[in-house]
Amino acid sequence: MKELGHFINGKLVSGTSGRFDDVFNPATGEVQYQCPMASAAETTDAIEKAAAAQPAWGATNPQKRARVMMKMVALMNRDMDKLAEALSREHGKTIPDAKGDLQRGLEVVEYCIGAPQMLKGEFTDSAGPGIDMYSMRQPLGVVGSIMPFNFPAMMPLWHVGPALACGNAVVLKPSERDPSVPLMLAELFVEAGLPEGVFQVVNGDKEAVDTILDSEIIQGVSFVGSTPIAQYIYSRATANGKRAQCFGGAKNHMIVMPDADLDQAADALVGAGFGAAGERCMAISVAVPVGEETADKLIEKLIPRIEKLKVGPYTAGDDVDLGPVVTAASKERILGLIQSGVDQGATLVVDNRDFKLQGYEDGFFVGAHLFDHVTPDMDIYKQEIFGPVLSTVRADSYEDALKLAMDHEYGNGTAIFTRDGDTARDFASRVNIGMVGINVPIPVPLAYHTFGGWKKSMFGDLNQHGPDSFKFYTRTKTVTSRWPSGIKEGGEFNFKAMD
Ligand code: NAD
């Protein structure tokens, strides 16, 4: 069985803790690697080595740091197929979707090429008599990144890219479910010219994470994952005096108004609900048709679309719509929630509970499911299922639909489908959710805007990527400067005799 390692000071190294976790191929159910779980001592060692490497990197001029980003973009494009294959093999998503995961990460690296521009400070000439005032944005030092399984390329790159571009060293703790791509990205960064030790990858679990959270060297922590862990990380990191941005779970509603193009809405719901087997924090998991007639028509359009979705392994080619979920435990949890929906009185309109894929019986496949008549008290409505399950909650009016989305504890993304500009504008203005789509089901902002939810989907204030990331990964220092009068007044140009 192949053992993965950690990436320390520019090299892959073996784990020494003696603890390992299985990395599965979700399509076959087979264990493909043993991933080492770092001890506190190994994690501390990686942090200390990062601290030794950071000052020189922080003092490297931003343009040179940007050139590493430029080269990284080229290297990722060169290795795109290899990276996508490794990603799909551990995550389960289709190859085109894996490339999307890589591409959306790469776009943030591209954005980071603008680091010299982003890091320019402010300057006030003559703030007082002979006084100038200027501010600089300086790196924090060593930062920690703790990442989820569902975007093993995009999520680390959203954090590592800006953190490095700002002159920090990073200790990344990837998800133990799919650690290979983060290790490959670390190797590529070194090939791109990043000095050794500036980007360390420590594989592990709570022991490694808690070591990062308690380390006096670590100055900032970024986390992406489920809400209970986000809340835990935020509390512990900030109690230890670090800045933290922690992004949590989601339950994204898509409101379908009676005037919407229902074919377009149904297509959008199927893609946003079932793509990546629903394992996206921006997946639409709740459809909210407004009015009984809209609901009946929408369900009628959804059923055939969902029934013809092709579930399969990433190796089966481009016509596969969704792959397996990430682990057997995840599959069990999803099937348990589906059963709870039936038991609590929702109507299971598309039922694939018996789904088995011939030749892949041990894979973690879950067929696509559609519920109708879901109500807010049901577990399938309250919880993030993170699987291929779309719930329909029928609303009587626009106000009811808006209230539903606003009352949910999560506030990551939402969408409205309508032909009416006034309704769309009202929705975007009033809804208490971080990212809003208008006739766009998955409104993931591009690299030069910022990404973040509200309510229980985010703890902290600065968002991921865009200008916020440059703020998060730097500290402002403001200098007030006055120089005593010098040579310009006192200079003597004539030959002067002694008094
Ligand atoms: P997770 O919370 O289980 O794990 C995330 C990370 O936390 C992993 O690195 C894991 O090792 C670590 N971790 C887990 N338990 C821990 C503990 N008790 N103490 C310390 N560290 C711990 O999340 P996941 O299953 O990997 O990812 C899926 C979740 O991530 C979903 O809820 C999804 O919505 C969310 N997500 C959110 C965003 C966003 O931007 N809001 C983006 C992607 C994913």
Q: Which band of pLDDT confidence, cut at 50, 70 and 90, is reported for residue 485? A: confident
Q: How far is the CA of 199 from the centre of ligand 1 (A)?
A: 21
pLDDT tens, residue by residue, 283-304 = 999 999 999 999 999 999 999 9
In this predicted structure, the answer to whether residue 412 has a pLDDT above a threshold of 60 is yes
Single out the residue of 148, 170, 152 nearest to residue 161, CA to CA. 170
**Is the four-CA dihedral 87, 89, 91, 94 of positive or negative sign?**
positive
Contact 275, 390 (CB under 8 A): no
Query: 10 Å Cβ neighbour count for 87?
Result: 26
Report the nearest atom of ligand 1 relative to the CA of 451.
Answer: 40
pLDDT at 484: 85
pLDDT tens, residue by residue, 226-250 = 999 999 999 999 999 999 999 999 9
DSSP string of 293-304, one letter each residue = HHHHHHHHHHHH
In this predicted structure, the answer to whether residue 112 has a pLDDT above a threshold of 60 is yes
As a whole number of angstroms, the distance between CA 183 and CA 200 comes to: 9
Does ligand 1 have an atom closer than 6 angstroms to the CB of 384?
Answer: yes
pLDDT tens, residue by residue, 424-443 = 999 999 999 999 999 999 99
In a mutational test of the pocket of ligand 1, which residue from 160, 226, 385, 462 has the highest number of ligand atoms less than 8 Å from its CB? 226
Angle between the 154-165 and 180-191 helix axes, to the nearest 10 degrees? 30
As a whole number of angstroms, the distance between CA 212 and CA 145 comes to: 9
**Which phi-psi region, left, alpha or beta, contains residue 270 (left: φ > 0; alpha: ψ -120 to 50)?**
alpha
Mean pLDDT of the chain: 97
ipTM over 0.90: yes
pLDDT at 322: 96
Contacts of 300 (CB under 8 A, 6+ apart): none
Contact 364, 29 (CB under 8 A): yes
pLDDT at 490: 63
Look-up of token digits 């994690």: 43
Percent of the chain with pLDDT over 70: 97
Does ligand 1 have an atom closer than 6 angstroms to the CB of 209?
Answer: yes
Contact 253, 286 (CB under 8 A): yes
Single out the residue of 474, 12, 456 nearest to residue 246, CA to CA. 456
As a whole number of angstroms, the distance between CA 465 and CA 378 comes to: 35
Q: Which positions are annotated as active-site residues?
A: 281
As a whole number of angstroms, the distance between CA 367 and CA 376 comes to: 24
The arithmetic mean of pLDDT across residues 459-482, rounded, is: 97
Q: Which band of pLDDT confidence, cut at 50, 70 and 90, is reported for residue 31? A: very high
Question: Burial of 345 by CB count in 10 Å (0-12 exposed, 13-18 middle, 19+ buried)?
Answer: exposed
pLDDT at 498: 57
Query: 10 Å Cβ neighbour count for 265?
Result: 27
In a mutational test of the pocket of ligand 1, which residue from 91, 149, 382 has the highest number of ligand atoms less than 8 Å from its CB? 149
What are the start-end ranges of the H helices in 136-226? 154-165, 180-191, 206-214
The arithmetic mean of pLDDT across residues 212-216, rounded, is: 98
What's the pTM value of the predicted model, to 2 decimals?
0.96
pLDDT at 489: 67
Does ligand 1 have an atom closer than 6 angstroms to the CB of 176?
Answer: yes
